[in-house]
Amino acid sequence: MKITEMREMNADELNSHIEEAHKLLFGARFKHSMHQLDNTAELRQLRHRIAQLKTVLNEKSQKA
């Protein structure tokens, strides 16, 4: 998902994507601790996506 797509979403959609990304991150961390995660870069990518979503959400709340 690109930043432009994130900026077109409303706050509820952003929050739902943040929750979904947190669930994926939890699962990835669990798999990593059990040595079952094949792509360890996925952890960083998920953290980055969460940060992007939160940034866009913060931008929207400051505009309002």
Model confidence pLDDT, tens digit, residues 10-53:
999 999 999 999 999 999 999 999 999 999 999 999 999 999 99
**In the chain, how many domains are there?**
1
The model's pTM is 0.91
Ramachandran class of 39: left when φ > 0, alpha when ψ lies in -120 to 50, beta otherwise: beta
Q: How far apart are the first and last CA of the chain?
A: 24
Domain of residue 12: give its range.
3-63
Q: What is the CATH number of the domain that holds 17?
A: 1.10.287
- Assign 61 a pLDDT band (cuts: 50, 70, 90): very high
Please identify which residue in the block is written with the tokens 């979403």.
9
Geometric angle at alpha carbon 44, from 28 and 5, rounded to 5°: 100
